[in-house]
Structure 1
């Protein structure tokens, strides 16, 4: 490129010299011509003076033209030098930006590695410092948020048991230290949960702390008093997780596929007004206390295969837009589906209703399968509408074979007692 610029400059200088030589030759030629024409005759002196004046004018004009060419060349050279300096400045600024970016990335990477190392410390305060460092790092660097959520989730998936009953004062020092360590780890885990939940709610505070498009994998984790209120998640996996204490997932939105297979809820589980916008599975889930799904919306296919409801289960005003499968589920106490809406097929073969089963004002738009269902105590389908096929083959009511009197799409108004 430098050779091309030198060649262009040489060509420009050569052009200027050629123009200047041409102008001088023109001026000299014109002068000799004029002197030859007007240098003889009676008015020779007068003509010679006039010729000299004309020649002078031509020479001055030629000199002015040469001066203009030189000025234009200087302007061109100055503009070229300025453009070169600007180009060099842009290159330097770009190099500086790249250097700053590389330095910033190295700093972020160093902070990340240091925080992860702190999570592996045997001292609870150091682990807490690592969690807060990851929280701050993710808040300031959105592209790293999912990675940091994965790290915190992996920490919560590590094996852990809740502290035992308080140890006696006269217990061995090792026993007291172990108990104290378990209490400290409990606080670390609650902090990790809080960091996750604080960033999943779009409407909390001013919204700047919301982390959008987050996937959460807490499979096998021990979760303590988990509370998610008006939060929003993409995919969520809680396979074989244990929820100890109260579990509140109120108004939460799951945009992706959600899995609770094999999970255990040791106390009350509240999913009221939640929205599952994709498929969800609660297969083999154990609800040790009450399970509340009031006004919950299931958009995709929903499965509660072999789920165990140890106490009351409420699905009041719940909407099942996809297929709803409760095959082999067991309700030890009341099962309430008042005003529930099944837009697609509802599969409940082999379900065991241990006490009251209420399907008051429910709507079954697709087929409803109640084959081999065991109804106990009080059962009602009052005001329920069946649009598709209804099957009750081999079902029993208080141990007696149940044969419904009608199988049609009209509302069922009788109580089955």
Structure 2
């Protein structure tokens, strides 16, 4: 699939969006309204104490139990609650009824899985030995537990896959889901990512120096800015309904965007570090463009990972610049400053790219870009991201790119809904 244009008879479209993030809970309209406000939703963490930790900010999600049945709210771990709510929202947004889609597939990415259940299970053993091991908790410690909970909640009976890596998991899930549809293994797939903040994980990631420190401060996620000093963690889930175009046409579905190209791969890099040779290896982005039948100059805007890590962000800009040649760098944005870094973010970027950029011709500005690392990046106006957003290149496609520490990479090229006509 990677080396050839996508077959038109198996074109893949985005027909539904469901999102649970610090910006809010809802479908496509909720996502668009939240981004229109232009105000980041990261704040001091309230769910647990961060006393003594290097960082204190996070993109937290409130209680979603009121969107579940009483038994689900009691039984499901919190991270699975996020995924189930997002899945149902996405299906409803697509006009599909849970349980009524033959061979519905699920491809879910996660950076950390249900770490809270793993901690609870391990703590039981450490405190009480074998008698402390809970058979009720153990099923949630496996990485595909969230996907299994989603499958049971929505009656999915098609292919199911969970992808686990610390970065870019949702983007990789979207690439794999697209491949399922192109290969004819499914007509409809729920694809995206989910993660949850918990105290042990937060403290360890902060201790490793990955998050932006409060001292000397100010703490915050500032991708592509010379003041960047780390990321801010978040939580939530965003799932998309990806559908074969003929199936979507048959039922008269609203189409947000066309997935014109989707590729994944890796760049050789030290473990959990940014690749050093990105300038010479933009192969993944180029493969996605080849699938889309597009030239580099047709990238109208790019939604990048933008984690706030100076080295990883510089690597990502290098990749985009190399893949865009001979055209100049397109308008660039990232959503990490709005909701914090988590696995659902890759799917949220696809949702925003489809609604805001392809649908409205706008690119959400980075909310706190004051000292750009490159002269062709437009700084924010004083007061944050409420100013009018720059427009993408007219008629261009949108690139959504994910890059993880260690070099795992995925690229999705989105075209306008009119391209599916």
Shorter-chain TM-score: what band?
Answer: under 0.3
TM-score normalised per structure 2 = 0.24
Structure of higher CA gyration radius: 1
TM-score normalised per structure 1 = 0.24
Greater helix content: 1
Structure number with higher relative contact order (C-alpha < 8 Å, ≥ 6 residues apart): 2
